[in-house]
Amino acid sequence: MLNTAAMRNHAGLAVRLAIYPDKRREPLLPGLPKGTQGSKPWDGGNLLVTEEQYAEMSGDPTVERFLRPYLQGQQLLQGGKRWCLWLISAEPADLRDSARIRKRLDAVRDVRAGSPTRVVQEAANTPGLFVQVRQPKTTYLAFPETSSERRRYIPAAYCSPEVIAGNTVIVFPDADLWLFGLLQSAMFMTWVKTMAGRLESRIRISPDLTYCTFPFPAPETNRAAIETAAQAVLDTREAHTESTLADLYDPLAMPADLVKAHRDLDKAVDKAFRSKAFPGDGERLAFLLERYEEMTTAAA
């Protein structure tokens, strides 16, 4: 949560400026990638493969061809391995000839046929496909949909298109270092902690309310410094390969070199918004609300 002063500041501005962002389908700054949830299997777990199941499943050459690493928010933050059967390119003969695949697809069909949701029932006719397919075809930035409110930053990571993003991950295809830097900054986190929903006390990201409404700075302003600082954050993480993102971003355990890398990134991002430093999150929020009003008024 924001500190008490920042929340009072936010509340006062909300009344004075009548600001509360409406959901948007596209980012407020044109040209940025659209953030969406990853693909949703709705399969009763039958298209997914755990570490315990991997050896048996991959023993089938046909299955092995279609196994892909599978990433949900938990794996992104906590580590661990999962796979899924990604059968988009499979031919009917592949599905017919593998007993392991057929058994899994029979179970998927039964689960979907018993669903009260019509779209899911209809998807019983294609049990080899996820019900919602949103997998990027290029490198993408993965952002956990839900994160502890204790973290100073919600860590995002780049993934190969071979890694299938699940529905508890927000994906940003072709996100460059500039965008990574903005999304890993104190400015963005101030906006998120104010505008995002909550799951119990945890922060729950909705792209249409947090990302698409964020009043980004002009892309050319201090861009090189942001990109350099963003790369430094990634490089610093690489120096701690034994730690998960959850470890690295625990507020009590965050390594000193990563704290410094983020502090440098915050300074670079702050400078893209204005030359004068922000003394705290309350001032950041006040500035962002005013900028949001300016941008939406200009676009009206």
Per-residue confidence (pLDDT) for residue 49, from 0 to 100 = 97
In a domain, 75, yes or no: no
Domain that holds residue 182: 4-33+176-299
Per-residue confidence (pLDDT) for residue 2, from 0 to 100 = 34
In a domain, 38, yes or no: no
Helices and strands, counts by H and E, the chain: 13, 11
Task: State how far the Cα of 148 lies from the Cα of 296, in Å rounded to an integer.
Answer: 30
Per-residue confidence (pLDDT) for residue 201, from 0 to 100 = 76
- Residue 259's nearest CA partner among 278, 226, 232, 282 is 232
Answer yes or no: do 252 and 186 share one domain: yes
Task: Give per-residue burial for 62-100: e unless 16+ CB within 10 Å, then b.
Answer: bbeebbbbbbbbbbbbeeeebbbbbbeebeeebbeebeb
Answer yes or no: do 96 and 197 share one domain: no
Per-residue confidence (pLDDT) for residue 22, from 0 to 100 = 82
Per-residue confidence (pLDDT) for residue 220, from 0 to 100 = 95
Task: State how far the Cα of 88 lies from the Cα of 77, in Å rounded to an integer.
Answer: 27
Number of domains in the chain: 2
Answer yes or no: do 196 and 269 share one domain: yes
- Residue 207's nearest CA partner among 256, 243, 170 is 170
Per-residue confidence (pLDDT) for residue 7, from 0 to 100 = 40
Task: State how far the Cα of 219 lies from the Cα of 222, in Å rounded to an integer.
Answer: 8
In a domain, 280, yes or no: yes
Answer yes or no: do 9 and 58 share one domain: no
Answer yes or no: do 228 and 291 share one domain: yes
Answer yes or no: do 96 and 190 share one domain: no
pTM of the model: 0.89
Strands 169-173 and 36-37: antiparallel
In a domain, 130, yes or no: no
- Residue 138's nearest CA partner among 107, 176, 111, 100 is 176
Answer yes or no: do 213 and 99 share one domain: no
| Segments in the chain below pLDDT 70 | 1-20, 199, 299-300
Answer yes or no: do 247 and 284 share one domain: yes
